[in-house]
Amino acid sequence: MRVIVDCLAATSGGIATVAEGLLGAWSAVAPDDDVHVVVQTDKLRLPDDGFVQTHYLRVPAPDLVWRPILGSRAIARLVRDCRADVVLTINPAAPIGRVRAPIVIAVEDLRHELQPEQFTGFRRLARRMAYGWGYRVAAGALCISERTRVDLLRLHPSLSEAIVRVVYLGADHVLRWERDPIPRGGAVAFAHHNNKRVEMVIEAWAQLSSLPGLPKLHIVGLGDGRAARLETLIAERSLSDRIALMPFLPAAAFERLMTGAELIVFPSDFEGFGLPAVEAMTLGIPVVVGPDPAVVEVTAGLATTMTEWTTVSLVEALSRALAQPQSTLESAKQHAGEFTWMRAVKGTRSLLLEVLADVSHTSDRSPSE
C-alpha cells in the first residue's frame, strides 16, 4: 500500500506524539508499505531507518492561513508523483481541491464545537473552514475514542456515509523516555490549554497544604499569557514553595519530569483520549482524572476519578490517589500495556484498506447498480 501521511499540523504537543508513534511503529507492522510523510519541521522524531520517506514543506506565518494552501498543493503533487493509494491526514484538515486518492482524516476531538468559549474567534473560524472541508471530502475517519466517534457522527451526520472507526492511540513510547538517575519526584499538572483546569489544581493544593507527604506540584506548559496570573494566584495562597510554574519544556526535559513524578494530576474537562493519563498508568504512576467520557473510557476505572469538576471532588480524589495500593497501580499498568503503537498502526491500516476496498467496489459498479 502506498500511503501519504499529512503531518503538517504535527509541530508539537500531543499531535506530534501521535505522528511519531504511528510512523515509528509502521515498519514493524507492514514493512512492504510505501509511506511518505509531509512535515514542516525537522523536530519530529521520525524513524531514521529509511522506511518513511520524509518531505519537508516550509510554511510561512500565519500557519493557519498558509498551511492549507501550500500543503494542499504539495500533497496533490506528491500523490500524483508517487501514485499513492490513499492519503491519511493527522487531523481533520484535508487537502483542498482535487486529490487523486481517497482521503482518511484523523479526528482527535470536537472541543472547538462543543466548548467554543475555550477558543479564540479566529481559531474557531480556521477550524470550521479547514475541518469542515475534511468532513465533506473524507472517505474515512479515524477517531481516537468512542466518545469522539459518537460526537463526530452526531455533529456531522453526513459522515455516516463514510467509514468511521475507532483506533486507540499508543502509550508505550513512554517506556523509551529518558529518566534521571535520581528522580525529581513531585506531582505534575498541565497548563497548555484552558481545559486542563489548572486553577482548580492550585486551589486543591491550597486546601491540602497541611497534608503530610503532599508532593511539590510542577505545572508545565505555561505560555507568557497565563504565567503572571497563576503566579499571583499561587502567591496569594502562600504556595510559592509548594508549586513550581514551568514553560513548555524540550522533549528530553519533559520526559524526565514525567518519568520521575510520583503523581500526575489531569482534571481536564474535555479530551478526545487523554494520553497523559494512559502514559502515567503505563509508567506505574498514580493519576487523578476528571469524569470526562473519553478519559473514563480509556482508563477503564483504573485511574482515580473525580465525581465532578469541583475543587472538593479533586481534593478527595487526590487524597485517594496518594494512598493508592501498589496492586491497583499494577492493574492500571497492565491495562495501559494494551495501548501500543503497533496496535494503533494495525487499526489504522485496517481502516485504510477498508476505505480502499470500498472505493474500488464503488468504482467497479455499473451505473444501473
SS3 119: coil
Q: In sequence order, which ranges of 30-107 are alpha helices (DSSP H)? A: 63-82
Q: Are 122 and 84 in contact (CB under 8 A)?
A: no
Name the nearest CA neighbour of 7 among 28, 27, 36, 50. 36
Residue with cell 511519531: 20
In 3D space, the residue among 98, 53, 25, 104 whose CA is nearest the CA of residue 353 turns out to be 104
For the segment 173-221, what is each residue's pLDDT rounded down to a tens digit?
A: 999 998 988 877 899 999 988 899 999 999 999 999 888 889 999 999 9
Question: What's the pLDDT score for residue 63?
Answer: 85
Instruction: Walk across the sheet containing 103-107 and list its strands.
Output: 52-56, 34-39, 2-6, 86-89, 103-107, 140-143, 163-166
Give me the pLDDT at residue 181, please. 83
Neighbour-count burial of 301, counting CB atoms closer than 10 A to its CB (0-12 exposed, 13-18 middle, 19+ buried): exposed
State the cell numbers at 256. 524526565
Q: Which residues of the chain have pLDDT under 70?
A: 224, 361-369
Instruction: Look at residue 361 in the predicted model and tell me its pLDDT.
Output: 65
Fold of 2-170+340-357: Rossmann fold (3.40.50)
Domain with CATH 3.40.50.2000 in the chain: 2-170+340-357, 173-336
Residue 27 half-sphere exposure, CB side, CA atoms within 13 Å?
11
CATH 3.40.50.300 is the classification of domain 173-336: no
98, amino acid identity: R
pTM of this prediction? 0.93
Q: Give the DSSP H or E segment for 13.
A: helix 13-29
Reference 108, options 92, 84, 130, 124; nearest CA is 92
pLDDT of residue 242: 95
- How far is residue 123 from each of residues 2, 9, 95, 283, 367, measured CA to CA in Å? 33, 14, 18, 34, 42
